[in-house]
Structure 1
């Protein structure tokens, strides 16, 4: 309960400050928060959520999960093989340095303007933090643990699932956490190019039609979605890495 209060304290203070400071605003581009919240209720009905938000979330989920599969799979292979790592490292660094939004026009040439293009953009941006964190996590596995597992006959797939993945789990989770925020950004950016629905598309349409309160309401909704997804990820991470949380807690008490 205390953690929930701490998590909500700053957003509540910021919203309260926004409400007070914007109460007397006469600016067309920065309307009062009360007008924005009224537009929020009028704009984001159940039908609007199904038409625009649900497709965005499905693309986000598809791209994020695909990036996770590719990143963790390749990360395991590269992290376990020194020669493969030496060959792939320059190429990985090259592609990692390319901003994914720059490739949107190129991807559109090959994948069209449908959902496939948007998913590919999300995958391309999200795969690198997952991949690189997985490689580093695998490389950081304690050699004593590996030798102990080998002496007990834990080899092959069992060695990966029972020893390497759990040991590299905290590092992999860090990469997945970084990728989630990138996925939300790329979801919006990809929907700004030749789209017919989606949250990013709708926000741009509001901006082009000078529906400013509605535009701000879309931005607030995007922030709320990001907060909800981050909270869900933290809950899943805490459940998956219970042993790690317990280890940190015991070390904290011992210190």
Structure 2
């Protein structure tokens, strides 16, 4: 419990300091586009009510969750296949590098042609951007599986699903988690970008509407909410990762202690 509290404190320490610096730096501001933080916070409470959270924040979070889940499923599945088979990797690697180099926001107009302007388009955009760090980290994690452990599994006749679960995925899980952590921040960015195109709700849509209506404090409150959402998701991810990879972190601490 103490370790969990330490992780939470470390996660929120720097954002709290930046928040305090913002408060004092903007305290006497009379700039229309740079309102004082106290005004933004007052607007925050007025704008982001229960109704607004239901109509804008909840749809955004659900789209992010759906796109992220698709990216994890596709990235890990394809990464295991590519990382575990040299011939498949040789064939697919140039194609994967080509598509990885295309910025996902550029694909939004193309995806709109095939998926329309509804939630499907937004989920596909999020998944298209999140899949790459997960896929590439999974490939490298699978390729780095200890050869001695692989030979041991072979000697004991461990194959198929048991080998995949207990050797491949377990060995690659630290790098998979690193890719998932990177993908989470990318997913939040793409969630906002996708909602700026032909949307009728969502955080990205709300922020653009505030900007077009010159409701500057409202716009800043939406940006602040996005930052808080990212912080909350980051803390939750760290907690889940720490629990799922407790064996790995314990192993690392033990190795550091023997040096």
Tell me if both proteins adopt one fold, taking TM over 0.5 as the criterion.
yes
Identify the residue that residue 166 of structure 1 maps to in structure 2.
170
With the length of structure 2 as denominator, give the TM-score of the two structures. 0.97
Identify the residue that residue 50 of structure 2 maps to in structure 1.
46
Structure 1 position 4, deviation (Å): 3.2
Q: Report Cα offsets for 1:34-62 as digits up to 9, x if no partner.
A: 00000000000011000000000000000
After the TM superposition, which residues 170-181 of structure 1 pair with which residues of structure 2 at under 5 Å, given as runs?
Answer: 170-181=174-185
Q: Report Cα offsets for 1:177-221 as digits up to 9, x if no partner.
A: 111010000000000000000000000000000000000000000
How far apart in 2 are the matches of 1:119 and 1:138? 27
Say what the alpha-carbon RMSD is for the aligned residues: 0.9
How far apart in 2 are the matches of 1:43 and 1:110? 35
Identify the residue that residue 195 of structure 1 maps to in structure 2.
199
How far apart in 2 are the matches of 1:127 and 1:14? 31
How far apart in 2 are the matches of 1:6 and 1:226? 15
SS class of match (1:31)? coil
The match for 1:183 among 182, 187, 205 is 187
With the length of structure 1 as denominator, give the TM-score of the two structures. 0.98
Q: Report Cα offsets for 1:145-179 as digits up to 9, x if no partner.
A: 00101111211111101111000000111111111
SS class of match (1:192)? coil
Q: Report Cα offsets for 1:65-115 as digits up to 9, x if no partner.
A: 001000000001111111000000000000000000001011101110000
Count of matched residue positions in the alignment of Structure 1 and Structure 2: 255
The alignment status of 1:209 with 2:237, answered yes or no, reads no
How far apart in 1 are the matches of 2:200 and 2:176? 35
The alignment status of 1:134 with 2:138, answered yes or no, reads yes
Contact 2:203–2:222 (CA under 8 A) maintained in structure 1: yes
The alignment status of 1:146 with 2:150, answered yes or no, reads yes
After the TM superposition, which residues 59-70 of structure 1 pair with which residues of structure 2 at under 5 Å, given as runs?
Answer: 59-70=63-74
How far apart in 2 are the matches of 1:233 and 1:7? 11
Ranges in structure 1 where 5+ consecutive residues have no aligned partner: none
How far apart in 1 are the matches of 2:14 and 2:245? 27
After the TM superposition, which residues 1-255 of structure 1 pair with which residues of structure 2 at under 5 Å, given as runs?
Answer: 1-255=5-259
How far apart in 2 are the matches of 1:31 and 1:16? 15
How far apart in 2 are the matches of 1:175 and 1:37? 34
How far apart in 2 are the matches of 1:57 and 1:7? 21
SS class of match (2:117)? coil
Ranges in structure 2 where 5+ consecutive residues have no aligned partner: none
Contact 2:11–2:235 (CA under 8 A) maintained in structure 1: no
How far apart in 2 are the matches of 1:24 and 1:234? 37
